[in-house]
Structures are given as C-alpha cells and as structure tokens.
Homo-oligomer: A and B are copies of this chain.
Amino acid sequence: MSEKLFVSAQEVAERAGVSRSAVSRTFTPGASVSTETRRKVLEAAEALGYHVNELARGLMRNESGIVCLIVSDVATPYRSALLRELTLLLQNAGKVAMLINTDRSDGSVDRALRQAIRYRADASIMLSGMPDKSIAQLCLRSGQRLVLINRDDEQPGPLRINLDDDEAAGRVVTAFVRAGCRKLAFANSEAGTPSLMARERGFVAAANALGIKVSVERHGWTGYEAGKVLAQRMLTRTERPDAVFCATDLLACGFMDAARHQFSMSVPDQLCIAGFDDIEQASWSSYDLTTFAQPVSAIASKAVEWLSQPQPQPQNDDTICAQSIRLHAELVWRGSIRGG
C-alpha cells in the first residue's frame, strides 16, 4: 500500500557507504564479507530498521521458504497437536508455515493447493482431504514437494506417512478378548478416510479370525457428538456389546459419556472402550481412555526432515521418487479396558 514504507537494501547500502551487494552478502549465510563491511552494514541496518524482503529473495532464489499446511478441522485436538509440532519443527528448520483451511466442499482441497502454488510454497503438507490427481501432478511438476499424512496410499505425492492402523486394530481385539469380552462392536464415522477404514477392517478381520462377529455402526463426522449418537444406537439394542472400539478418541469420549450418563453403564466393568489418537482428553481422569498414540512428533519430524534434505534426485516427470513411511501406533494402557 501507499508510499515506500519498508526500508530497502539500497538505503542501507547508502547509509553504510557500501554497495547494495555488500548488504545482500551480509545477510546471506556463507557469503564472503569482511568483518569491517559487515559491521558497517549491520549498524546501518539496525539504525534504519532493515529486514530482508523474503518476497524478493524468494523470487530470485526460486525458493520461498514457505511450507503450506493443508488441513480441515484445525480445532480438533489431534489436528491441532500435529499442527503445533509441524509449525515448531518448520520454524527450527528455517521455514515458515502457511495455514490453509479446507472444508468438505468440492474443490476445497484443490483450491488450497492452487494457493500453495501461487505463493510458490516449497512444499505442501496435507493433513486432511485428498488432492485431485491432476492438481497434485501440477504441484510436483512445478517442483513443489508434497507430503501426505494419514492419507490414502493410492494418492499421488512423493512422501506418504501412514500408521499401522489395521495391525493396531488387531491388538485391541486381543485386549478385549483377554478382558473376557465377546460381544464386540466398532464405532466409526461416515468420513470414510483411509485410516479410519483401515482400523475398521483390521478390527473386524482380527475378530473374525477368532470366530467373533463384530457389529459395526457409522455415523457423522468423527466428533464427540457423533460418539454419543453411536452409543445411543448401539446400546438400545436388545443385545448390547460388552466392548467397543471407537475409530477416534473423540468418538470414544462421546460414547463413554453416553454410556455412563444416559445408560448408567459402568466402564470398564460392563463395557470396555478403546479409542485412537491419544488426544490430551484421553488421559483426563473422567475418561482414562485406553487408546493408540499417534506418534505426532515422529510424524512431524519425518516430514520436516524430508523437506530439509537438499532435493532428492533429478525427477523424472511421473512417479517422482514416491516414498512411503509406515509408523507404529503404540497402545497406551489406561482404565477403560479391564485387566490392563
């Protein structure tokens, strides 16, 4: 807006009595400047309140330092925890996070990626949604790196970080059975994201392998309220489950509250419950929920580490060095399953 308000390297150079390139070099790590010129420049810069213009620098270097975080439901405990970790590590790596909110509307994710391209982000990290194949390819062709966290393995993108959801789900079955439960249930949302579905499949498969049938119910969008509704549905049946695995902690909290306060059931005596994510609330005394911990900091550091590496390889247009990382979700034992 309006008249030249920010101080430019030119002005600093004039005041310090050096060339503008001397100023540039002073602020470029690893450039050769004599201590004397450096001192003069820094002094002038300080006095004038000069700060490098990253817009111009990014234009020249073809590297903006910006990393886009594409995410929906930022206010959700698990998402915000991951966000915290990512922004922290990005900052330490000398990058800066641009936050783009998506919703469930059509094209929301694509718009986010286009935004990332317009700002010439060095990379985009997707925590939610699935990008259209063509737009993702455009990102990659443009030299933008793409990281997909807990997204589909089918999705395009050079780095994919996933958990062992299905295998984890199997471990819950073991825990439930060991606690003497035989009437298992799985409470899911209708979101249908790959990780959610993998948990469901893994749970059902492991139970079936033991000759146990699982009643599955899906409702809403992975929130507390949906968990309550699911409980209302499953606990009003003639044959109540004696153990339920909820696809996320938020569902589990809602389920547990409904079971206790609306159906006067005691957890874990009459009903064992397990969740997934290990959000902060899972450890609160009122819930004391047995759950799987998302290795949030491991996820974040894998992602940022990968982004900080120079540039993997020459890039042949199509499958650009796709890489997949599978992390382990640790079971956190608490009081919502009998006989820990």
Q: Which A residues form the contact surface with B (CB < 8 A)?
A: 1-2, 4-7, 49, 51-56, 58-59, 61-64, 66, 69, 73-77, 79-81, 83-84, 87-88, 91, 96-101, 114-115, 117-120, 122, 138, 141-143, 224, 253-254, 257-258, 260-261, 280-281, 284-287, 311
Contacts and interface: CB of A to CB of B under 8 A. Distances in A.
Contacts of A142: 5-7, 49
15 contacts: A1-B62, A2-B143, A5-B143, A51-B118, A53-B120, A55-B56, A59-B59, A66-B98, A69-B99, A74-B84, A87-B99, A87-B101, A91-B100, A98-B98, A261-B285
B69 A74 contact: no
A141 to B, nearest CB: 7
Contacts of A96: 98, 100, 115, 119
Nearest to A7: B142
A338 to B, nearest CB: 18
Given A1-B143, A311-B1, A84 B58 contact: no
Contacts of A91: 100-101
Contact of A54 (B53, B62, B120): B120
B77 A77 contact: yes
B280 A224 contact: yes
A83 B75 contact: yes
State the copy count for this chain.
2
Contacts of A66: 98
A139 to B, nearest CB: 10
Contacts of A62: 1-2, 4-6
Contacts of A2: 62, 143, 311
Contact of A285 (B75, B84, B257): B257
Contacts of A5: 62, 141-143
A3 to B, nearest CB: 9
Nearest to A285: B257
A120 B286 contact: no
Given A54-B119, A311-B1, A49 B98 contact: no
Contacts of A59: 53, 55-56, 59
Nearest to A138: B49
A81 B101 CA distance: 12
Contacts of A253: 284
A75 B80 contact: yes
A100 B254 CA distance: 32
**Interface core residue of A54, A59, A66 (most chain B CB under 10 Å):** A54
B224 A55 contact: no
Contacts of A119: 54-55, 96
Contacts of A81: 75
Given A74-B80, A114-B51, A285-B261, A98 B101 contact: no
Contacts of A138: 49
A30 to B, nearest CB: 17
Contacts of A311: 1-2
A101 B83 CA distance: 10
